[in-house]
Structure 1
Amino acid sequence: MRKRLSAQIAARRKQQVPADLKGMDASLMAMLDAQIGDLEQRIKGVIEQEAASAAKARLLLSIPGIGPVSAAMLIAEMPELGRMTSGEAAAMTGLAPIPHDSGAMRGKRAIAGGRRALRHVLFQAALAAASHNPVLKPVAQALKIHGKPHKLVIVAIARRLVTIANAILKTGIPW
């Protein structure tokens, strides 16, 4: 629901609105922003009601780059996080490289499958982590220095974020 409302806001901002409709457009934007805020508060309330979810949320929010939206998505979409290997966590989010090999031919590796909505949220978290996480920022800079494409850098950081989140939930020790 939140994603749909955010998409509506983004689409409205891209459109050219005639001058006589700007007032109506502003009120629509305010209404959509209020609905998103209400949904975020309701999600936060649901997470706080259950002790296990609240503890997971506190641990996830301790990781630089993971905010309330990505923490809520990880809790909702990946309840098994913290009870699996790092490779399994990456595969479940669709961030593991899948080989496209056949016989002697070695194909290009690409990400595929997994939980798509979660992967998209992790891409946004990876953008923040690449700038603010003291462990992942040097990794992102090194990949950029080596001439890697931007998408590859973001996928690599997102995969590391999932691995870190899995390890933190497994140990119960915050960042």
Structure 2
Amino acid sequence: IRAHHADLAKLLTSVKGVGPTTASTLLAQLPELGKLNRKQITALVGLAPMNRDSGTLRGQRHIFGGRADVRRVLFVAALVGTRFNPVLKAFYARLLAAGEPKKVALVACMHKLLVILNAIARSKSPWSNEIATVV
């Protein structure tokens, strides 16, 4: 099991923005990484937008619940990723240009980063622009 975690940590850190702290937190707190689909993994971490609807009232969508420790390290990883990861940087810039608030755009980058890391863990292949654009 230890060798498996070392290999997976190496794959996860191949993504610009994901360092050893993020990788070790994901491995420790999120053993389901690579085993669930994109909607399940984001809901588990608490990055899926949940609605606040009641009857005819349509409330604002928020993220909440899930695993806060994982969300915390993904926030920092996404923040770094928006500066140094070409895919996340372009995604973040596109959201800001569309008028999204910076925090909302950053949370969307966290969501995208988690989905990319899940795909990397599932396919057991390191970062490539092809994986990131398909996801």
Counterpart in the other structure of 1:118 = 70
In structure 2, how many angstroms separate the alpha carbons of the residues matched to 1:132 and 1:56? Answer: 22
In structure 2, how many angstroms separate the alpha carbons of the residues matched to 1:152 and 1:95? Answer: 11
Percent identity (aligned): 44
The structure in which a higher percent of residues are helix is 1
Tell me if 1:155 matches 2:89.
no
Superposed, 1:1-175 pairs within 5 Å as 50-175=2-127
Describe the superposition over 1:99-121 as per-residue Cα deviations: whole angstroms up to 9, x where unpaired.
01112221100000010011011
In structure 1, how many angstroms separate the alpha carbons of the residues matched to 2:120 and 2:93? Answer: 24
Whichever residue aligns with residue 22 of structure 2, its letter is: S
Aligned-partner SS, 1:51: helix
Describe the superposition over 1:44-66 as per-residue Cα deviations: whole angstroms up to 9, x where unpaired.
xxxxx811100110110011111
Aligned-partner SS, 2:86: coil
In structure 2, how many angstroms separate the alpha carbons of the residues matched to 1:62 and 1:157? Answer: 17
In structure 1, how many angstroms separate the alpha carbons of the residues matched to 2:33 and 2:95? Answer: 27
Aligned-partner SS, 1:97: coil
Whichever residue aligns with residue 119 of structure 1, its letter is: R
RMSD across aligned positions (CA): 1.1
Counterpart in the other structure of 1:27 = none
The number of residue pairs the alignment matches comes to 127
Normalised to the residue count of structure 2, the TM-score between the two structures is 0.91
Normalised to the residue count of structure 1, the TM-score between the two structures is 0.70
Question: What stretches of structure 1 of length at least 5 have no aligned partner?
Answer: 1-48
Larger Rg: 1
Describe the superposition over 1:61-91 as per-residue Cα deviations: whole angstroms up to 9, x where unpaired.
0111111111110000001100001111111
Counterpart in the other structure of 1:29 = none
Whichever residue aligns with residue 108 of structure 2, its letter is: A
In structure 1, how many angstroms separate the alpha carbons of the residues matched to 2:98 and 2:114? Answer: 23
Question: Whose relative contact order is higher, 1 or 2, with alpha carbons under 8 Å and at least 6 apart?
Answer: 2
